Amino acid sequence: MAYLVATAKCSDLETVRKSAPETWRRVRRYNLPIQLALAAAEEVMTSSRDAATATVISLAPCQPGSADLYRWGHVVTAGMATGSLGDLRMNPTQTLHAVDNLAMSAFAINYGNHADCLGLGGAAGQAWCGLEAVLERLDEPLGSLGSYENVDEALLMAGDQDSTDETANGLGVALLFSRDARPCAPLGSFVRLVRVERRKLSSSTNVRPHAALGLSELVTAIEQQKQGLLSYDVPAEQTDGVSAVNIVVEISA
């Protein structure tokens, strides 16, 4: 069984700076998507029984990098065109902004996590692959011959941004799942992830690549459902453009 026990969304780093200074100290050197993903993850991990042993599944941003990183890249390419890079200077920490699995690595270091981990690339629809990975790890019976029988919790986190401009908006989302039945912290209800269903679309559709938005809207749908069986059809623009996706969630008191 895979039970959702905590969710968090983060879109305002100023709030993080003021209300969670220690979190800000840990994430400030990273780029916006990673900062937001880690801030959301730190919030849900207060509900974890053992953050060091939770499986970590991290979605790379579909809009990677940062304004600083791209500014440096433009300096390099312009310099190469003239045969000289001139007075090229860069903050070494900004090279981290190009790392796809940065959130996963930073989380593991912060929490001393040594469990199974999975980094999914920054492509449209990867969030639903992340949910399938959660089910793969938590939904098999204890004592089975599966390779994940000792996994008790799984963290799914994502962060993304609208662009790499200085003023771009971003969003971070984190969901913590448990093999054991525990109430979901924000709702007070039991929320079980039942299955992820796919079927091939009759024709390809346009998509909006964003690592965090789809998970955020799923969480909102769960909050609005309150009780019963939720059959959530993922909006076509949040899929991979090839498969229609349906998420089935059971919510009970």
Domain regions of the chain by residue span: 3-64+100-181
User: What's phi and psi for 174, nearest 5 deg?
Assistant: -140, 140
Q: What is the pLDDT of residue 69?
A: 60
152/70 Cα distance (integer angstroms): 40
> 2 with 179: CB under 8 angstroms?
yes
User: What is the dihedral sign for C-alpha 69, 111, 2, 222?
Assistant: negative
In this prediction, residue 98 carries a pLDDT of: 64
DSSP string, 131-151: HHHHHHHHSSPTTSSSTTTT-
Both ends of the chain: CA-CA distance in Å? 16
Residue with tokens 């011959």, as numbered in its chain: 145
Integer Cα distance of 164 and 161 in angstroms: 7
CA gap 30, 38 in Å, rounded: 10
253 residues of the chain, pLDDT tens digit each? 899 999 999 999 999 999 999 999 999 988 899 999 999 999 999 999 999 999 999 999 998 766 666 566 666 666 767 777 656 666 666 666 566 688 999 999 999 999 989 999 889 999 999 999 999 999 876 555 456 667 899 999 999 998 777 778 999 999 999 999 999 987 899 999 999 999 998 888 899 999 999 999 999 999 999 899 999 999 999 999 999 999 999 999 8
| pLDDT the model gives residue 186 | 79
Q: How far apart are CA 250 and CA 117, in angstroms?
A: 26
- The helix, strand and coil proportions of the chain, stated in percent and rounded to the nearest 5, come to 35, 25, 40
Q: Which CATH architecture has domain 3-64+100-181?
A: 3-Layer(aba) Sandwich (3.40)
Query: β-strand 170-178 against 153-161: which pairing, if any?
Result: antiparallel
Cα–Cα distances in angstroms (integers) from residue 61 to residues 147, 154, 162, 249, in the given order: 28, 19, 10, 25
**C-alpha distances out from residue 24 to 29, 64, 91, Å:** 9, 20, 19
